[in-house]
A and B are shown apart, each in its own frame.
Chain A
Amino acid sequence: MGLEKPVAGYATVQTWRKGLVEQWGEEPADFDRRAAMLEGFCDLAGRDPDGMIEDCTREVEGGKRIRIKARREYSEKIAEFQKTAGGDARSQGRAGNIVRSFFIHNGIFMQAGLND
């Protein structure tokens, strides 16, 4: 599945970038590489970045709620994704964490274990 536009053009990817800048006080130097990694994950998930965040949230009176089931499914997909990423276990973990970072900075709290 290809994205309909460049990955950086999605609102949630911009939110991610902004979140990284706010967290670390500087532009992430390798953001393009991270965005490309996310694009790879989008291929696996068959969804674009905005669609994935939309899947994980729902509007309720007074704000948004996280959809627990969708978050669990994406969490499992990330684990699957990192297994297919190249390199050693650490590089694979890094690939998974790049995708987790995207979800986290879009408000989807998630954690993985040290070796997951």
Chain B
Amino acid sequence: MEFKEVVGRRRSIRFFDPEKPVEREKIQVILETARLASCAVNAHWLRAIVVERDKLPPEKLNQLKTPVAALTLDLAPVHIYFFCDLGIVNKIKGSRLRELVDVGALAPSHGWSHKFVDDFVYPQILEPMTKNLQGYMAAAMADAGGAAHNALLAAFDEGLGACLNTPNPALTSQVLGAPADWVSLWVMLVGYPSESWEAGGQRPRPPFEELYFDGEYGKPFPRDPAVVERLKAAKMIQEPAPLPGRRDEIRRLSEQYGLPE
């Protein structure tokens, strides 16, 4: 699938075929894609624990369920629990940034040197940053979120459906045995959709001009209709929800799985 179409087809899938397993290789592709995400100071905060629902002891699966997240855990055959490893910066102490200098990704042309990384970046910037938890969390979480979104797109590119949910952080860490400095981020539920791939159509989004600005706040970035048409042709911008028949589709699925109306 072309990149633009993958972006266009991605939408949160909430009805999965619970009986159809996901191939291990597809899970690996998802994780490989996360690993290649852009990452500040090459730290790589994102961690994942892959849980194959049917391999998880039932008592553990039940522990992960809450009154607000029970159905989706049963429907999706694969759960990828994402965490943010807040300890990583002080473990690697700038060494991965140094690697970027070694391989020529960061160069003196842009002010970078080994000396700068060794003497200044970790001791003067990164380590103090980790002590300001609020600011550090925001930076680390944003970075991990970007990597998780790479993974999300990969799932759709592999012909799967997926959805990011917020699990109970304490329960997740406890049940899965995550280290104390990992903060629970999201669980990505993965499986083959039992709803149509359109899932009712592309979701509503705020108007473009309300979100993006040109040069200064308050001056909307102009949206060129010709570009919009090009993106429609590339299947990135698709038919908006609700598509005809969505109600019937939900009703059919609710009946099929015995869900509330």
Does B176 touch A at the CB level, under 8 Å? no
Contacts of B74 in A (CB 8 A): 113-115
B261 and A97 form a contact (CB under 8 A): yes
Given known pairs A24-B247, A25-B247, the reply for A113 and B261 (CB within 8 Å) is no
Does A33 touch B at the CB level, under 8 Å? no
Complex: A112 Cα to B66 Cα, angstroms: 8
Return the CB mask of A76-116 against B: 1 if under 8 Å, else 0. 00000000000000100110011011001000011111111
A interface bracket (residues with beta carbon within 8 Å of B) = 20 to 34
A94 and B70 form a contact (CB under 8 A): no
B70 and A116 form a contact (CB under 8 A): yes
Q: Which of B205-261 contact A (CB under 8 A)?
A: 247, 251, 257-261
Q: Which chain A residue shows the least CB distance to B67?
A: A75
**Given A100-B260, A111-B70, 9 additional A-B pairs, CB 8 A:** A23-B247, A75-B67, A97-B260, A97-B261, A101-B261, A109-B68, A112-B70, A114-B71, A116-B65
Q: Which chain B residue shows the least CB distance to A92?
A: B258
B18, B65, B68, B69, most chain A CB atoms within 10 A: B68
Complex: A100 Cα to B62 Cα, angstroms: 19
Contacts of B65 in A (CB 8 A): 113, 116
Does B199 touch A at the CB level, under 8 Å? no
Does B72 touch A at the CB level, under 8 Å? yes
Which of B67, B257, B261 is in CB contact (< 8 Å) with A20? B261
Complex: A111 Cα to B70 Cα, angstroms: 6
B18 and A114 form a contact (CB under 8 A): yes
A24 and B261 form a contact (CB under 8 A): yes
Q: Which chain A residue shows the least CB distance to B258?
A: A93
Q: Which chain B residue shows the least CB distance to A99?
A: B260
B258 and A111 form a contact (CB under 8 A): no
A114 and B257 form a contact (CB under 8 A): yes
Complex: A23 Cα to B254 Cα, angstroms: 13
Does B73 touch A at the CB level, under 8 Å? yes
Contacts of A97 in B (CB 8 A): 258-261
Contacts of B73 in A (CB 8 A): 113
Return the CB mask of B51-70 against A: 1 if under 8 Å, else 0. 00000000000100101111
A111 and B71 form a contact (CB under 8 A): yes
Q: Which of B30-86 contact A (CB under 8 A)?
A: 62, 65, 67-75
B75 and A114 form a contact (CB under 8 A): yes
Complex: A111 Cα to B259 Cα, angstroms: 9
Does A65 touch B at the CB level, under 8 Å? no
Complex: A23 Cα to B62 Cα, angstroms: 30
Complex: A32 Cα to B223 Cα, angstroms: 52
A94 and B67 form a contact (CB under 8 A): no
Complex: A109 Cα to B69 Cα, angstroms: 10
9 closest A-B pairs by CB? A97-B260, A114-B74, A75-B67, A113-B70, A101-B260, A111-B71, A100-B260, A113-B74, A111-B70
